[in-house]
Chains A and B, each alone.
Chain A
Amino acid sequence: MIKKQRLLFLFILSIALFFILAACNKDTQSESEGSGNAEGENKASEGEASGDKILVFGRGADSIQLDPSKVTDGESIYVTNQIYDTLVRYEEESTEVKPALATEWKVSEDGKVWTFQLRDDVKFHDGNDFTAEDVVFNFERWTTSAEFVYYGYMFGASEDNMKGIIEKVEATGDYEVTFTLSEPNAPFLYTLAMPPFGIASSKAVEEHGEDYFKNPVGTGPFTFEEWLPDDKITLKKNPDYFGEPANVDQVVFRVIPDNGARFMELQAGSIDLMMGLNPQDIATAEGDDNLQIIRRPSMNVSYMAMNTDKEGPLADKLVRQAVNLAIDKEQLISLYEGIGKAAKNPIPPSLWGFNDDVEDYGYDVEEAKALLAEAGYADGFEITLYTFANPRPYMPQPKVTAQAIQEMLKEVNIKVKIVENDWDSHLDATENGKHDMAFLGWTGDNGDPDNFMYVLLDKDNAKMGSAGNIAFYKSDEVHDLLKEAQVEMDQEKRTALYMKAQEIIHDDAPWFPIAHTTPPLAAKKSIVNYVPHPTGSEPFNLLDIQE
């Protein structure tokens, strides 16, 4: 009996003790801070000694895979862009290309044979030499499965023709590689600069097999160090980088899902640079002496696609035009809090080929009603609008934007039901045409209009199940123009073709184009030489932290 009492008492005591201990620890710690915390300084001085400059980059979601050839999400590409190099890279601020793994290149008269001279002084992070064989290995690997999504998109590969337009890739020397195309392809060189076509170490790919996506080995300015899923990815500087070696020693990509929380971390100083800023917080950041806003040049579009393929009102061009007229775009754009400009075409105005003569529909409820009446829908109808939960660079507030449109369309008796999914499910649903209307957007990959128009609005890409064209817009006229532009090598002629296509698209109104944004990034003032690239990601080797 007595024993039991004591035990009980001990139990309570130990709980109390634990707390007191914790409290004491805190006391001693704050005291020792004042009197020169030996332990702490040890740690700190270790850090100092190695002079580690750590860049902590905050973002909203984790990478899916670190094998760039298999992914399309920006979060994965952002990291792999540090680890891999492509044959050519984009210039710092434009989509013009400059040498990278390839030093020079030439193209045959008919535009079908491309020969690249490669650097002979490059090693992969695993120590193996980079040779022409590695390039061949990568390109052949990408033709083995439909998993290599971008290869399919960019080179027109399909299930019957896994190679697409690239007939052959050969090592014509230790450091020379030759591509033979089945037809000329105007954007080919620019496409090769896209991060998904980063060259991986063939040895590493073979060694890791299925697990390669979490053991990436490239030639880039940073080497892969550690990946804690949903938490952080750590990269270390590659001191042997063939280009400009990195200024920072480590880059940590930290996942902080909520935009607001991420910004607070930046304010508190625990991260250095962040993407995905709530537009509401821009003013706060600009008013903060320690922070700066860096704007990424605009090369994107956000839109609401209308499913032209589904039976129902939206199959009728008049209805789609009416929807365009019934939404007050200026009001809608104000939800972008100054980071967006109203869109009227599928391609952004910064791109060549943009047709400024196209006149946007404008906001006119009466005319919208008239068109609906003409189409036989004077009493309106019910319709779904698919949207996604988390903000994207081209659409900072999808949920709010959807609600705004819902309310505006009520004016013309169109009753909108909002269906919100997380990003992956949204893509699944829209690629399969589950929606009547759906939000989506696109950030340009290679600075070619083809990369917008063909991917998003050609009938080739309106395939159920893997549609890039989620309006399922199938215009033969547009298709012919876009196809012709692909094989035409003369840019002036191509411009004319794209101009014409934009006019037709405007009239058919498969989309309600919303905006082109300049996505803001927020950073500490100490971050210098950081130049965001219009394509949405860039290597961090030039970036520096100034103390």
Chain B
Amino acid sequence: MAIQPNPVTDPGIDAVDKNVQIKGQRLWVDALTRIIKSKTSLIGLCIILLLIITAIFAPIIATHSTTDQSIVNRYQPPSSEHILGTDELGRDIFSRIVYGTRISIQIGVISVGISLVIGVLLGGLAGYFGRWVDQIIMRIIDIMMAFPSILLAIALVAVLGKSLTNAMIAVGLVGIPQFARIVRATVLSVKETEYIEAARSIGAKHRRILFQHVLPNSLAPIIVQATLGIGTAILDAAGLSFLGLGAQPPTPEWGAMLSDGRAALQTAPWVVAFPGLAIFLVVLGFNLFGDGLRDALDPRLKR
């Protein structure tokens, strides 16, 4: 849960700030070529694309409705009628997993969106203004990082009340420090470069410098972190739902499906097995792609 490499101690990301100066499009073109060449990140990309396509075309792909029940047909093993079997209410597991992709994407985007916006803002301010602004913000970040993330998320949900929305908010808040630290580090290294000095000397406003010059140059590591972060967010939110703190019925959220299927672990293990497999695959996809992106954006680490 939320246990992912600490970007600060990770050589991959440390290295990234050293090459942010490699400006402009070349970097992205290079990166793209590298991603396509790397088998693993290509697999990751495929999984993510598959996820998105499934989400968009869920009504076409799904063979049944997600809520239509047929109690007589509960706990059916996988068959031609129900590819992945049926659950405790005789609902089609395959269709529920298919629609679950929408919820997973929603979780990933919203949670990471929260971490990203707040994290980038805090990190940017801290790095750009330095001094006491930096001191205050970084101390707050330190404090946030003193909590094991899943525990902080649980505590937040406990306070906010249990629902999928609150779970997404909690997971998002917990992810802020990662972004803030990355952005701060890159901003620090970009800040002293010549063209920023130049911008400053011709009297450009802080906001303009920050948004037009500094942040675009921090884009690469942010994108890497966001990709990896989506995987983590899905994993964390599924964990919260599993504990009964996230999605509420009849939402076909994968963690909740898994949790509901526990009662039949002995008699109908597929009810638990498939939603878990779905979570695993999707998270794997984001991790593969995120890793690939990181390697691609950092030529120095190229294998």
Residues of A within 8 A of B (CB): 258-260, 263-264, 278, 280-281, 283-284, 331-332, 334-335, 389, 397, 399-400, 402-404, 406-407, 410, 418, 420
B106 to chain A, nearest CB (A): 19
Is the CB–CB distance between A400 and B260 below 8 Å? yes
Cβ-defined partner of A399 (8 Å) among B249, B264, B265, B266: B249
**CA–CA, A215 and B67, complex, Å:** 50
Is the CB–CB distance between B263 and A260 below 8 Å? yes
Cβ-defined partner of B71 (8 Å) among A263, A280, A334, A402: A334
Is the CB–CB distance between A400 and B244 below 8 Å? no
A residues near B72, Cβ cutoff 8 Å: 331, 334
**CA–CA, A310 and B291, complex, Å:** 56
B208 on interface, CB distance cutoff 8 Å: no
**CA–CA, A258 and B262, complex, Å:** 9
A61 to chain B, nearest CB (A): 15
A residues near B74, Cβ cutoff 8 Å: 335
Is the CB–CB distance between B89 and A260 below 8 Å? no
Given the known interface contacts A400-B89, A406-B250, the answer about A284 and B244 at a Cβ–Cβ threshold of 8 Å is: no
A264 to chain B, nearest CB (A): 8
- Smallest CB gap from B68: residue in A: A407
B248 on interface, CB distance cutoff 8 Å: yes
Is the CB–CB distance between B266 and A260 below 8 Å? yes
Is the CB–CB distance between A420 and B244 below 8 Å? yes
Is the CB–CB distance between B266 and A281 below 8 Å? yes
Is the CB–CB distance between B265 and A260 below 8 Å? yes
Is the CB–CB distance between B249 and A407 below 8 Å? no
B residues near A332, Cβ cutoff 8 Å: 71
B206 to chain A, nearest CB (A): 46
Given the known interface contacts A332-B71, A400-B88, A420-B244, the answer about A280 and B266 at a Cβ–Cβ threshold of 8 Å is: yes
Highest count of chain A CB atoms <10 Å: which of B248, B260, B267:
B267
Is the CB–CB distance between A407 and B88 below 8 Å? no
**CA–CA, A402 and B248, complex, Å:** 12
Contact with A along B66-98 (1 / 0, CB 8 A): 011101101100000000000011000000000
B residues near A259, Cβ cutoff 8 Å: 263
Cβ-defined partner of B244 (8 Å) among A334, A389, A406: A389
**CA–CA, A403 and B262, complex, Å:** 16
Within 8 A of A (CB), among B244-276: 244, 248-250, 260, 262-268
**CA–CA, A406 and B74, complex, Å:** 17
- Smallest CB gap from A260: residue in B: B265
- Smallest CB gap from A402: residue in B: B249
- Smallest CB gap from A259: residue in B: B263
B residues near A260, Cβ cutoff 8 Å: 262-266
Is the CB–CB distance between A418 and B248 below 8 Å? yes
Is the CB–CB distance between A407 and B67 below 8 Å? yes
A421 to chain B, nearest CB (A): 9
Within 8 A of A (CB), among B26-68: 67-68
A523 to chain B, nearest CB (A): 17
Knowing that A260-B263, A335-B88 are A-B contacts, what are 4 other residue pairs whose CB atoms are under 8 Å apart, sorted by A's residue number?
Answer: A260-B262, A280-B266, A331-B71, A399-B249
